[in-house]
Amino acid sequence: MSSILKSLKLLSDPTRLRILMLVADEALSVAELQEVLGMGQSRISTQLSQLKTAGLVNDERSGKNNMYSCTAAPDLMEVARSAAEEVPEVPTDRAALRHLLRKRKDSARAYFDELAGRFGKDYVPGRSWKALAEALIKVLNYKTVADLGAGEGTLAQLLAQRAEKVIAVDLSPKMVEFGQSLAIQNGLANLEYRLGDIENPPIDEESLDLAILSQALHHAEHPQRAIDAAFLILKPGGRLIILDLLQHQFEEARELYADHWLGFSESALASMLERAGFTGIETIVADREPTPPHFQTLLGIGVRGESRT
């Protein structure tokens, strides 16, 4: 039997307590704990080793991974759960775990990832990601769409070919002026540019069928506020699509591209969407640039329900 005093001392560390709470709900690998907690592999492995030595967790081999689960006594877990309520990161951990488990159930994902990986490797005249995107835009059936953080509005102009109305929002007066002039030149009367912040966009509540944040969220001072705002301007049943950078360590991006955040992890993006009230949440790493610093594109989708939860 493990020492209660030693166990309590171990669990006084918030990181070890967070790990124990997670593996108490579900057997997890080190890689999965990395995704949920946003921590490095060595740090998590060190904490797991200490928990295992104390008899609080155990691991079993499953394929290529060791899966860790909780083996702590019920009376100790009762104390641990009470203590966990004082750790501010625990609710976020729970949301990230829910997202991770949803991904596990997507048995087709690996297959489609493999298909996506093959696309473009073999030359086929006229077939490209750009052509495919253009074709998909043509079949979109959204009436009112917003491109939030639109920049010069390339995406907004593509969307305007199909949607009844497109609203492009950007914080830069020059970008808005430039985009609006392009819309006029190209005869896109259904495309309107508005000056505004993505954290408080100048759009009526419950007026959109689709909102898009394309490589804009990492420029926001408060990303959660931008996602909350998108929720409010969507109609019930409306969708939010987020394209952004996967979390990276390229610090130069702050100066080169005025990035406020160095991307987001899948679990962090899913947690923000869930916190805002979205359902039907999906995330996927959609692309990886072949040249350094090898930025990866993160895709997130959420649906607004009837009301916030």
Same domain, yes or no: 31 and 70 = yes
Q: Which domain holds residue 36?
A: 4-89
The DSSP element (H or E) to which 79 belongs, if any, is helix 74-84
Same domain, yes or no: 73 and 139 = no
Report the percent of the chain where pLDDT is more than 90.
Answer: 70
275-to-1, 92, 101, 246 alpha-carbon distances in Å: 40, 9, 17, 19
Same domain, yes or no: 84 and 224 = no
CATH number at residue 255: 3.40.50.150
Structurally, how many domains does the chain consist of? Answer: 2
CATH number at residue 15: 1.10.10.10
Same domain, yes or no: 143 and 81 = no
Note if the pTM is more than 0.85. no
Residue 278 lies in a domain: yes
Q: Which three-class secondary structure state does DSSP give residue 3?
A: coil
Which one has a higher pLDDT value, 306 or 160?
160
Full strand arrangement of the beta sheet holding 144-148 = 191-195, 165-170, 144-148, 208-214, 234-245, 296-304, 278-288
Please check the confidence at residue 265 and state whether its pLDDT lies above 50.
yes
Please check the confidence at residue 203 and state whether its pLDDT lies above 80.
yes
pLDDT at 286: 86
Same domain, yes or no: 48 and 128 = no
pLDDT at 309: 44
**Residue finishing a domain among 55, 89, 123:** 89
Residue 99 lies in a domain: no
Mean pLDDT score, 130-146: 79
Same domain, yes or no: 61 and 125 = no
- Residue range 25-84, pLDDT digits in tens: 899 999 999 999 999 999 999 999 999 999 999 999 877 889 999 999 999 999 999 999
Same domain, yes or no: 136 and 238 = yes
Helices (H) and strands (E) in the chain, counts: 13, 9
Same domain, yes or no: 74 and 168 = no
Which one has a higher pLDDT value, 202 or 104?
202
Please check the confidence at residue 130 and state whether its pLDDT lies above 90.
no
DSSP state of 247: P
Same domain, yes or no: 164 and 284 = yes
- Is residue 170 within 8 Å of 179, Cβ to Cβ? yes
DSSP assignment of 164-221, as one string?
SEEEEEES-HHHHHHHHHHHHHTT-TTEEEEE-BTTB-SS-TT-EEEEEEES-GGG-S
Please check the confidence at residue 1 and state whether its pLDDT lies above 60.
no
Residue 94 lies in a domain: no
Same domain, yes or no: 182 and 286 = yes
Which one has a higher pLDDT value, 161 or 167?
167
190 φ, ψ (degrees, to nearest 5): -90, 5
- Residue range 268-283, pLDDT digits in tens: 999 999 999 999 999 9
Residue 104 lies in a domain: no
**Residue finishing a domain among 89, 118, 140:** 89
- Residue range 171-199, pLDDT digits in tens: 999 999 999 998 999 899 999 999 999 99
- What residues contact residue 72 under an 8 Å CB cut-off, 6+ apart? 2, 7, 20, 24, 55, 56, 57, 80
Same domain, yes or no: 166 and 285 = yes
**Residue finishing a domain among 32, 55, 89:** 89
Residue 102 lies in a domain: no
The identity of residue 90, as a single letter, is V
Residue 309 lies in a domain: no
- Residue range 141-151, pLDDT digits in tens: 789 999 999 98
Same domain, yes or no: 163 and 74 = no
Please check the confidence at residue 202 and state whether its pLDDT lies above 90.
yes
pLDDT at 124: 65
Residue 98 lies in a domain: no
Mean pLDDT score across all residues of the chain: 89
- What residues contact residue 122 under an 8 Å CB cut-off, 6+ apart? none
Residue 133 lies in a domain: yes
- Residue range 67-120, pLDDT digits in tens: 999 999 999 999 999 999 999 999 999 999 988 888 776 655 666 566 666 666
